[in-house]
């Protein structure tokens, strides 16, 4: 695989790799480092990439594993989950604040989900992966992915309803 073929194979999903890394690691800098490391590993093994039917799923799996290794390492003792992928619209200041607060509430709820549910929400609802792709990335059966996604969404929905109805978080 030459450089041009490599770029064509990996460029379309570079933002998804970064967003997953950012979801799992503490900061933009950590996510950038993880993304750079992943692409370095992919480049080193570019000849082997042709053997994979879905290079994107392989890259997402590598990203997930690398981030977990970082989180487990001694250097990452104080990492926490952060994600800010919200774009504001041309609306009034109070609406912008309300939207931002709602997005922050959902992100906090996602952060409190079990690890597996957190990743499935990221891949399905944010990255728009289909169930087959998620199954490949996480090495799970489709039923298990659907159940985990359903439970994660239910947990988030119930917490939002509780907050909305009672003002309790």
Helix axis angle, 55-72 to 3-10, nearest 10°: 80
Please write the tens of the pLDDT for every residue from 151-168: 999 999 888 888 777 765
CATH level 2 (architecture), domain 1-81: Orthogonal Bundle (1.10)
Q: Which residues neighbour 30 within 8 Å (Cβ) at sequence distance 6 or greater?
A: 21, 22, 70, 79
* Fold assignment, 88-169: Arc Repressor Mutant, subunit A (1.10.10)
Angstrom CA distances, 85 to 43, 129, 130, stand at 28, 17, 20
Query: Token pair of 149, please?
Result: 């996604």
Angstrom CA distances, 77 to 19, 22, 25, 49, 68, stand at 21, 16, 11, 33, 12
Confidence (pLDDT) at 39: 86
Confidence (pLDDT) at 99: 72
> In the chain, which segments carry CATH 1.10.1740.10?
1-81
Mean pLDDT score, 37-45? 84
Confidence (pLDDT) at 43: 83
Mean pLDDT score, 20-46? 84
Which residue's entry shows tokens 């929400």? 121
Is residue 129's pLDDT more than 80? yes
> In the chain, which segments carry CATH 1.10.10.10?
88-169
CA distance 60 to 71: 16
Q: What is the mean pLDDT of the chain?
A: 79
- Name the CA radius of gyration of the chain, rounded: 18
Confidence (pLDDT) at 146: 93
Confidence (pLDDT) at 105: 84
Please write the tens of the pLDDT for every residue from 56-95: 888 888 888 888 887 776 444 444 444 444 454 456 777 7
Q: Cα–chain-centroid distance for residue 75?
A: 21
b or e along 141-166 (b: 16 or more beta carbons within 10 Å of the residue's beta carbon)?
Answer: eeeebbebbeebbebbeebeeeeeee
b or e along 59-74 (b: 16 or more beta carbons within 10 Å of the residue's beta carbon)?
Answer: bbebbbebbeebbeee
Please write the tens of the pLDDT for every residue from 9-20: 777 888 888 988
Confidence (pLDDT) at 81: 40
């Amino acid at each position: 695989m030459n450089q041009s073929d490599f770029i064509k194979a990996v460029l379309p999903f570079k933002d998804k790799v970064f967003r997953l890394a950012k979801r799992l690691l503490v900061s933009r800098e950590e996510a950038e480092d993880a993304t750079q490391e992943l692409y370095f590993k992919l480049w080193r093994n570019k000849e082997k990439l042709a053997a994979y039917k879905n290079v994107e799923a392989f890259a997402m799996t590598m990203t997930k594993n690398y981030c977990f290794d970082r989180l487990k390492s001694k250097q990452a003792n104080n990492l926490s989950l952060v994600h800010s992928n919200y774009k504001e619209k041309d609306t009034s200041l109070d609406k912008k604040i309300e939207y931002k607060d709602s997005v922050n509430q959902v992100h906090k709820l996602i952060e409190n989900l079990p690890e597996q549910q957190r990743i499935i929400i990221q891949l399905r609802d944010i990255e728009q992966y289909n169930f087959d792709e998620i199954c490949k990335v996480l090495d799970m059966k489709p039923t298990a992915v659907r159940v985990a996604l359903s439970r994660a969404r239910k947990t988030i929905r119930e917490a939002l309803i509780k907050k909305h109805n009672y003002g309790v978080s």
